[in-house]
Amino acid sequence: MTPQDYEYLRKLLKERSGLDLSADKQYLVESRLVPLARKASLAGIPELVQKMKAGAEALTAEVVEAMTTNETFFFRDKLPFDHLKEAVLPALAQARAARRSLRIWCAASSTGQEPYSIAMCLKEAGAMLAGWRTEIVATDLSLAVLEKSKAGIFSQFEVQRGLPIQMLVKYFTQNGELWQLNADIRGMVQHRQLNLLQDFSHLGTFDVIFCRNVLIYFDQDTKAKIFERISRMLEPDGVLALGAAESVVGITNAFKPYPDRRGLYRPNAAPTIVRPGVATLVPQAPRSVASAR
Ligand SMILES: C[S@@+](CC[C@H](N)C(=O)[O-])C[C@H]1O[C@@H](n2cnc3c(N)ncnc32)[C@H](O)[C@@H]1O
């Protein structure tokens, strides 16, 4: 790959997916795109770039997808899901008692382990949310991961990563070497293709947003803009969950830390917490959910 090819790919990936590659990531591009070039019967990356420059849109979309990192696993980092069970859901169950509905967005949901972990937490909440209307919207840039997520079929390796054995037994059915997630949990999650660089206001507003381990690939300016747009999608007492290595500090003032719950944030105009885990009741703005149905 020539330095010009690398520059072309860097610029294109930044524009299309937000991926901010440093000058020394040629090896990463080569390891992901040489197999793609071969699959397309091309000699290598220079020929791939030539086709892209000539307007091969489907191939360009494949390149963008191939450069995404889809690493994920069930109950990743554990802590956000403990926070959800122990603090966030009880607080929202109280604050939304009249409305009896909850909307959760899992942005960058990859192959489904994260939205399905959230779905299992809601299921495990049992009586607290019985009879409630709960929606989990899972979105990702990559169609391939969304397809896998929708199928809800996981390998032995995948179910061994993070999923407690009792949940495996309770919510999955074994089929040879694979595990099929049961229909009731699958049915709790809606899937949509969505690029975080583009407008996402049509999704409506949410009580909880998980946006984990995706913004780490973006530059500061892109992160700040996305945080700001996400903050407009959260209810005033809603909660944002970030990945273990992520933070809003030094990037945006749109969020402040959720007290005593590492990795969780609230919109900056959020009401103060008066008792651990229980949010003050504030009047809820009307929600625009029609487009997310
Ligand atoms: C490392 S995975 C994180 C999955 C999950 N959130 C977790 O923490 O386990 C990052 C995901 O972000 C998606 N992604 C990358 N760029 C994106 C973008 N611009 N818009 C939406 N999703 C994107 C990738 O396709 C990938 O599935």
Ligand 1: centre distance to CA 284 (Å): 30
Name which residue sits closest to atom 27 of ligand 1, judged by CA: 110
Name which residue sits closest to atom 6 of ligand 1, judged by CA: 212
**Is the pLDDT reported for residue 272 higher than 90?**
no
Cα 154 from Cα 256, distance rounded (Å): 36
Whole-number percent of the chain with pLDDT over 90: 91
pLDDT at 174: 97
pLDDT confidence bin for 261, thresholds 50/70/90: very high
* pLDDT single digits (tens) 97-148: 999 999 999 999 999 999 999 999 999 999 999 999 999 999 999 999 999 9
Cα 108 from Cα 251, distance rounded (Å): 20
* pTM summary value: 0.91
Q: Please, what is the average pLDDT of the chain?
A: 92
Ligand 1: centre distance to CA 197 (Å): 12
Amino acid at the residue 61: A
* pLDDT single digits (tens) 17-42: 999 999 999 999 999 999 999 999 99
pLDDT at 286: 41
**Is the pLDDT reported for residue 173 higher than 90?**
yes
* pLDDT single digits (tens) 143-165: 999 999 999 999 999 999 999 99
